[in-house]
Amino acid sequence: MSSPHSTVETADGSAIAATDDHVQLASTSGPVPGNALEPKGDSSAGVNDDVDEPDDFHPGWRLWAIIAGLIVALILTAFENTAVSVAMPVIVADLNMGDEYIWITNGFFVASAAIQPLVGQLCNIFGRRWIMLINVAIFTLGSGICGGAHNSATMIAGRVVQGLGSGGITLLGDIIMSDLVPLRYRGNYLAAILSVFGIALILGPFLGGSIVATTTWRWIFYLNFPIGGAALIHLFVFLHVNYDDDATLSQKLKRIDLLGNFVLMASVVSALFALAYAGSTYNWGSYRILVPLIIGLLGLVLFGFTQRGRFAASEPVMPPRLFHHRTSVIIAVNTFINSALTYWVLFFLPVFFQAVKLYGPQYAGVALLPSLVITMPGSALAAVAISRWGRYKPVHVAAFAIFVIGLGLLTLQNPDTTVAQWASYQSIAALGGGALINSQLPAFQSPVEESDQAAASATWGFIRSLGFVFGVAIPATIFNNRIYDLQGAIADPSAKLALSTLGPYGSASASFVRQFDLETQHQLRNVFSQGCLRVFQVALGLCALGFVLSLFEDEIVLRKKLKTKYGLKVKPESNTHGSVDAEIAVEQEVTVEGRVAKEKVAEKVEES
């Protein structure tokens, strides 16, 4: 039986055709950009409203100007992380930090992970521009605190402040790109950003080493002042985007999910505090590990209850609807797996190079270059492929397959592995892992509405940051336990005692192994090799799980249209026909008119 039809004209001459099944905007004067009333496809079937949309995205110079500012801001975090890793032994010795050195890295990552959901909510309430500027300023302030530190407490405090700023900068880079570039074409612009980011990441160790060798380590942090200043000026001038500024300050503050943010941040800090010391300072059975870990995990469960039901805020920081689609859940799990495995490999390849191959610290850093050089180009290649084909599932399946092969090859490493072998092995793993770094965000965003893009980006960034921390703590525990199990293979009692005193991870250096006779060196190298083997075997199993899960992703068509209220600001007197600004303005106007027309149609249908 056919459905009754009726039509209503809108102000732009378009006609609304109504049926019992859906309401569709049919333009009588050509296609209308950003049609918000086109019928929604069944997301479970992997389709949406942009399947047959024309290619009418025309970026202007303002978009590229904003991207340039984002690149400068992201260079801050890229250079900082790799440069500090090289200078860390000197910093630890100079400040006499002892065991507290772990918080130079962990304090940064914990703060970065904990703040991201809140930043995602704040940028919806107060707009992207000022929140981004504040985060760049926070990171730069943290750099100054670190540069001027004369004790461990000040250094750790500075790194925590840097982590807060870095988490916001990284997240807002994704959110702003989501506001300005349609999902289908976002990869092309991400590729440009990742290329520069990758260069900064690679140059970081060399510049950091040069600074430490020629002057003081403090200049690693002080150099962020001119870079951060340039980013602030550039973004202040060019980052002008829309947001709803009609509400009063008290109304905006009421939108913040205070309970959810507090429970989430407290739980994350508690759990990650336990992971920082587990297996290295205290064993996993110690109450110092179990108490904060259990509190953290129970807190995460409690957080889930704060996001739904009567306890939920009007705008939950992590809305449960983000996980209503199967693909969203799969991407969330695989994002955690890939981010964990990325640091898993980057932290334990140097252990293999130093404790098994007996390379010095500097050459071990050089030996890691294949991973650093391949990872970012792999990520950029995946982003471009998704934009070109409009499909992410083949990229994910292929990338996980390559990653599995690379990790499988890493399990073949032993004291006799040649340079050509370990270089090719890690290159393959880096290509697969790199292709997954940013290619999973579009897939996580695709099933959710445009109004939830900031929340989706914040949630995805939070999951990725959690993976980074677990990717350091978990393999360290696996490695330590395996080495303790194999201590019987070491005949020299003094070597056993030294290994127990320093701990397996603390002993994994060429200088430690070389202090013993050749026979003991051979035994130690084999034991450390077996420890690394177990680490990469577990990594291989996790990666295989990610590969299997990727096969069950739905291929949801990536949107070609922007439907956002956070786009570029449009000057009323300017004529920007065909530009991104004009498209967004028309999109918002059509959306309002379409809703009014849809209500009229519904009334007509109800009357008939």
pLDDT at 602: 52
Q: Is the pLDDT of residue 191 over 70?
A: yes
Q: Is the pLDDT of residue 49 over 60?
A: no
Please, is 438 exposed, middle or buried when counting C-beta atoms within 10 Å of its C-beta (0-12, 13-18, 19+)? buried
Q: What is the mean pLDDT of the chain?
A: 79
Token pair recorded at residue 141? 């302030």
pLDDT at 309: 75
Q: Is the pLDDT of residue 51 over 80?
A: no
Tell me the mean pLDDT in the region 97-102.
Answer: 76
Q: How confident is the model at residue 56 (pLDDT cuts 50, 70, 90)?
A: low
Give the C-alpha separation, 137 to 236, whole Å.
12
Closest CA to 560 of 446, 457, 458: 446
Q: How confident is the model at residue 101 (pLDDT cuts 50, 70, 90)?
A: confident
Which secondary structure element, helix H or strand E, spans residue 25, and what is its range? Answer: strand 23-26
Instruction: Determine the 3-state secondary structure of 114 from DSSP.
Output: helix
Q: Is the pLDDT of residue 14 over 50?
A: no
Q: Among 143-147, 346-350, 532-536, name the one with the lowest average pLDDT.
A: 346-350
pLDDT at 13: 37
Tell me the mean pLDDT in the region 378-389.
Answer: 85
CA dist list (Å): 391 to 59, 101, 457, 590: 22, 43, 19, 28
Q: Is the pLDDT of residue 284 over 50?
A: yes
Give the C-alpha separation, 443 to 559, whole Å.
11
Give the C-alpha separation, 271 to 190, whole Å.
32
Bridge partners of 26, per DSSP, are: 15
Q: Is the pLDDT of residue 593 over 70?
A: no
pLDDT at 415: 93
Q: Is the pLDDT of residue 16 over 70?
A: no
Token pair recorded at residue 247? 């509400």
Closest CA to 576 of 53, 36, 58: 58
Sheet of 6-9, strand order:
6-9, 15-18, 23-26
416-444 pLDDT tens trace: 999 999 999 999 999 999 899 888 888 89
Among 1.20.1250.20, 2.40.10.230, 3.30.470.30, 3.40.50.720, what is the CATH number of 325-555?
Answer: 1.20.1250.20
> CB–CB of 184/135 below 8 Å?
no
Which secondary structure element, helix H or strand E, spans residue 6, and what is its range? Answer: strand 6-9
Count of CB atoms within 10 A of residue 225's CB? 14
Tell me the mean pLDDT in the region 398-411.
Answer: 96
pLDDT at 249: 82
Q: Is the pLDDT of residue 35 over 60?
A: no
171-188 pLDDT tens trace: 888 888 888 888 777 777
pLDDT at 25: 32
CA dist list (Å): 319 to 46, 449, 451, 455, 483: 22, 12, 12, 8, 43
pLDDT at 20: 36
Tell me the mean pLDDT in the region 86-104.
Answer: 80
pLDDT at 84: 82
Give the C-alpha separation, 477 to 475, whole Å.
5
| The total number of residues written for the chain in this structure | 608
Q: How confident is the model at residue 346 (pLDDT cuts 50, 70, 90)?
A: confident
pLDDT at 18: 37
Instruction: Determine the 3-state secondary structure of 7 from DSSP.
Output: strand
pLDDT at 113: 85
pLDDT at 87: 78
pLDDT at 509: 83
Q: Is the pLDDT of residue 586 over 60?
A: no
518-554 pLDDT tens trace: 999 999 999 999 999 999 999 999 999 999 999 999 8
Tell me the mean pLDDT in the region 236-258.
Answer: 83
Instruction: Determine the 3-state secondary structure of 327 from DSSP.
Output: helix
Closest CA to 490 of 525, 533, 515: 525
Angle at 541 between CA 535 and CA 544, to 5 degrees: 140
Q: Report which of residues 472 and 522 the model is more confident about.
A: 522
Q: Is the pLDDT of residue 298 over 50?
A: yes
Tell me the mean pLDDT in the region 271-289.
Answer: 80
Q: How confident is the model at residue 481 (pLDDT cuts 50, 70, 90)?
A: confident
> What does residue 358 show for φ and ψ, rounded to 5 degrees?
60, 35
* CATH 3.30.390.30 is held by the domain 65-247: no
104-120 pLDDT tens trace: 888 888 888 888 889 98
pLDDT at 131: 93
